Structures are given as structure tokens and as C-alpha cells.
Amino acid sequence: MKFRGKMIDPNCIKQFIGILGCMTKLGKSCVLRITNTDLYFIVRESQTISASPLIWCALDEGHFFSEFGMEGLSTVDNEIYLEFVAENVSRTLSALRVSGTAKSVKIKLTKKLLSPCLTFEIDLPSGSNHSRLVVHDIPVNLVPRRLWNDYHEPEALDPDISVHMPQLRLMKSIVERMKNLANMATVHVTSEGLLTLTVETDAVSVTSHFDNLHVEKRKEEEASVTIELKRLSNFLGHEQLNPQKVVCDVLQSKVMHLNFLSDSYSLQYFLPGINDQ
């Protein structure tokens, strides 16, 4: 199996850093799926008080990479699945964040000391018209073919109501305050474009209202789901990805599905309902 990609556009490098950072902060491990047209980051996590959430991110290789080449497992199964530990990416992200003036970033599947690695080669400018190459090797595990189905794209959700999310930074600040009161909150949306977020304890009940939201789809007049505030807060902290829009799908008592949409990528975050275990 072979993989090599090169990024030279500063905006693409910055966006890639943001997406990779989002993946590593939302889960302890991540799977990178590589095809001849797209890259996918997939995070599964089970250490929550609710059912296991799922993050699915698809990147258009034609947008991000000026050079791209891959050879998968076989001509029939022309894909590559790599699993890596999130904390192993931290040093690479630190180097990438200071590479705003990087001439290029190359990503390759390599073998170091007989172990597969995802190698980042960051070409940074230096003084006197020279450049310096910073290399980071991230150990990876090859996901065997029999497990590939565990990382295929989630089935399309048929929500009861879909609305555009309010400003993420504002909602994040409210969720942070609610976390001091409770671990869970109930999200309620209506066909009139109203979204409310409610926490209830024995001592207090607090509700925040977001109205006049664009309704993308409605099958019911209203829908609600109880979700884990910590997970919602972690996701809302990535507004720097600058999506064109964020759509919130709610399936009654089952799931809250957040979808970051852009021309170059899509990022889906599934928050299962607390009572749906």
C-alpha cells in the first residue's frame, strides 16, 4: 500500500490543521480512510455516560492537495485504513500551527523500524533564503480488511426536524455555563425555527432560547433529545473551521446530529440520546 499527498496552499494547510485538531480532541483514537478521491477521518468513542458518539469527516483531496497518489490494499479494495492515537499527533499539530508560512506539507505512508507510520514533512522557510525540513512520524496501525465495514459512512439520517444552528460561539458560552449545573441537557426544536436548550436539577431549571432559525426540513411539528453537555461543548469549540453552515438534525429521543458543511469538506457529529441505550 502507498500514499503520498502534498499541500502548498496556506489556506488549505490551515484548514487541514483545524480539522485534524478537531478529530484528535474529540476522541482518543482516530481512523484515517484513504481513497483515490477523498480522505476520511473517523472517530468512535465509548467512554461517555451515553451511548457511543461518532464523528465522520470527509475531505475532498482535489481541494487540499496539489499532488496526490495512493495504492490501496488491492485493485478491488483500493483503499487504505490507518488507525492512530490522538495524543501522538500533538507534536505534529504544534509544528503545523507555526507553519503559516510553510512552503509545503507532505504526508506519506512510510515504514520506520519495520512499523508503519504517517510521516509529515513540513518545509519551513528559514533565514537567507534557505528552508528547513521538519519531519514527524506518527505510528499507525493498519486496519485489517475484515474490519473496514466498521468505518463505512453512516446511513443518512431521516430527522424529525432539521434547523440551522445559531452562532456557535454564543451557544458554546451558554453550554459552558450549563455544565456547571448538570451533565445533561434537553435539546428541543420546533417547525417554527425555535431551538431551546434546557437543564434541570432538583434546585433549578434553566432554558436558553434561539429563535428565527432557518428550518431545513420538518417531518414533525417538534422534536427533542437529551444529550451529554460535555460532548456538545467539545464539538462547539471548533467554530474556527469556518463552515458555510451547520445543520442540526433531531430525531425524537434518539439522536442529535450536527453537520458542518463546506465546499471542501463535511463533518458529521452524532450525539446519541441519553435514554437511547
pLDDT per residue as tens digits for the range 246-259: 999 999 999 999 99
The answer to the question of residue 257 being in a domain is yes
For residue 234, give its domain range: 161-272
pTM > 0.75: yes or no: yes
Query: Given this model, what pLDDT does residue 276 score?
Result: 46
The answer to the question of residue 156 being in a domain is no
Structural domain count of the chain:
2
Which of 151, 183, 210 finishes a domain? 151
The answer to the question of residue 104 being in a domain is yes
| 207 and 115 co-located in one domain | no
- The answer to whether the CB of 220 falls within 8 A of the CB of 226 is no
| 67 and 186 co-located in one domain | no
Residue 85 scores a pLDDT above 80: yes
Query: Given this model, what pLDDT does residue 79 score?
Result: 97
- The answer to whether the CB of 262 falls within 8 A of the CB of 243 is yes
168-177, 182-191, 230-239, 263-272, range with the lowest pLDDT = 230-239
Confidence of residue 100 (pLDDT cuts 50, 70, 90): low
pLDDT tens-place string over residues 147-178: 999 888 888 889 999 999 999 999 999 999 99
Question: Which own/partner contact pairs does 69-72 have at CB distance under 8 Å and 24+ positions apart?
Answer: 69/2, 69/3, 69/4, 69/5, 70/1, 70/2, 70/3, 70/4, 70/34, 70/35, 70/36, 71/1, 71/2, 71/3, 72/1, 72/34, 72/35, 72/36
The answer to the question of residue 120 being in a domain is yes
Strand partners, 31: 42, 83
Measured CA to CA in angstroms, residue 159 lies from 21, 96, 163, 198, 218 at distances of 29, 38, 10, 20, 8
| 142 and 178 co-located in one domain | no
Cα(133)–Cα(246) distance, integer angstroms: 37
| 62 and 186 co-located in one domain | no
| 18 and 123 co-located in one domain | yes
Cα(254)–Cα(275) distance, integer angstroms: 8
Average of per-residue pLDDT values in the chain: 89
Three-state DSSP at 273 gives: coil
| 67 and 165 co-located in one domain | no
| 9 and 90 co-located in one domain | yes
CATH assignment of the domain containing 121: 3.70.10.10
Instruction: Choose among 51, 66, 89, 92: nearest CA to 7.
Output: 66
| 166 and 134 co-located in one domain | no
For residue 105, how far is the Cα from the chain centroid? 21
Query: Given this model, what pLDDT does residue 93 score?
Result: 79
| 187 and 246 co-located in one domain | yes
| Percent of the chain surpassing pLDDT 70 | 94
| 145 and 186 co-located in one domain | no
Which of 151, 181, 197 finishes a domain? 151
Confidence of residue 46 (pLDDT cuts 50, 70, 90): low
Q: What is the rounded average pLDDT of the residues 100-126? A: 88
51-65, 135-149, 171-185, range with the lowest pLDDT = 51-65
| Percent of the chain surpassing pLDDT 90 | 65
The answer to the question of residue 277 being in a domain is no
Confidence of residue 22 (pLDDT cuts 50, 70, 90): confident
| 134 and 178 co-located in one domain | no
The answer to the question of residue 144 being in a domain is yes
